[in-house]
């Protein structure tokens, strides 16, 4: 298993859910991995399980100083940076009438400003390093709306088009930096458990989610991690600006 042999990756939100699955999958394919998160308690065990080719980086994605320090620490530890996965995210449920300005701002900061700052922080390093791959975790909620997700829809749709803008810029500048987004359907992670916990009838909500997926079930973190390996590897060298849907057919 060496599809990412010798490559260096920084994965935000690496302490949990999709992020920790992506970190494990990248390490299994031979990458050095910076597990970046604000949650050190959950992040350290992830690093421990991956061994000496992984490292925990304390990084709040909303803070540009954190980004500069985290990228510098990764480069100093592993000698470069080839792959960025902007995965950290939060979900706050609320329609346009229910969502407070505070929750709107929180969602936009983490889910959209985070990836924006991440792209800005890594492009100079990747440029100097002869290229790289940026993978932004959006959502099917970045492609179609739900009445309950005014802020999350806005942030994830922003990630979709920002990714394409980054892809075009880097391609036209001949940086050899690719940028693609992944749009997961509903995947079983701690974030999903938090959303379920906000529901008055969690089993009914799960049944609705399952019924939205033509394949008859929701997804697993490894489904998303497998797409991330492809986009991170040189196998996808002609793929940039793509919105890659991993959703059991739910957005058809």
**Contact call for residue 115 and ligand NAD (CB under 6 A):** no
Q: How many residues bind ligand NAD (CB under 6 A)?
A: 29
- Which residues, numbered 116-155, are part of the site for ligand NAD (CB under 6 A)? 137, 139
62 makes contact with ligand NAD (CB under 6 A): yes
Burial class for 103, CB neighbours closer than 10 Å (0-12, 13-18, 19+): middle
Written as six digits, the tokens of 211 are: 């019924």
Quick check: is 175 catalytic?
Answer: no
State phi, psi for 230 to the nearest 5 degrees. Answer: -60, -50
- Alpha carbon distances (Å) from 163 to 117, 123, 133, 149: 12, 13, 11, 21
- Distance of closest approach, residue 189 Cβ to ligand NAD, in angstroms: 3
User: Out of 143, 192, 239, 243, which residue is the one contacting ligand NAD (CB under 6 A)?
Assistant: 192
Considering only residues 159 to 178 of the shown chain, the ones binding ligand NAD according to CB under 6 A are: none
By CB under 6 A, the residues from 66 to 105 that bind ligand NAD are 87-91
Strand partners, 66: none
155 exposed, middle or buried (CB, 10 Å; 0-12, 13-18, 19+)?
Answer: buried
- By the criterion CB under 6 A, which residues form the site for ligand NAD? 12-13, 15-19, 37-39, 59-62, 87-91, 110, 137, 139, 184, 186-187, 189-192
């Amino acid at each position: 298993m060496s599809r990412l042999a010798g490559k260096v990756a920084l994965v935000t939100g690496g302490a949990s859910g999709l992020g920790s699955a992506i970190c494990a999958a990248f390490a299994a394919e031979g990458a050095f991995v910076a597990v970046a998160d604000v949650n050190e308690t959950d992040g350290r065990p992830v690093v421990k399980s991956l061994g000496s080719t992984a490292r925990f980086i304390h990084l709040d994605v909303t803070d540009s100083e954190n980004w500069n320090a985290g990228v510098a620490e990764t480069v100093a530890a592993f000698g470069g940076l080839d792959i960025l996965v902007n995965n950290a995210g939060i979900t706050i449920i609320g329609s346009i009438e229910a969502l407070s300005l505070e929750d709107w701002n929180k969602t936009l900061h983490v889910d959209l400003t985070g990836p924006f700052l991440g792209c800005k922080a890594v492009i100079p390093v990747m440029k100097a390093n002869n290229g790289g791959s940026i993978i932004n975790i959006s959502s099917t909620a970045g492609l179609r709306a739900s009445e309950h997700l005014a802020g999350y829809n806005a942030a994830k749709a922003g990630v979709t088009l920002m990714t394409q803008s980054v892809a075009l810029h880097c391609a036209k500048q001949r940086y050899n930096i690719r940028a693609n987004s992944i749009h997961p359907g509903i995947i079983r992670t701690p974030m999903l458990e938090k959303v379920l916990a906000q529901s008055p009838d969690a089993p009914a909500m799960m049944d609705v989610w399952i019924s939205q997926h033509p394949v008859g079930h929701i997804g697993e973190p490894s489904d998303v991690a497998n797409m991330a390996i492809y986009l991170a590897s040189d196998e996808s060298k002609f793929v940039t600006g793509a919105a890659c849907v991993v959703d059991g057919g739910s957005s058809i």
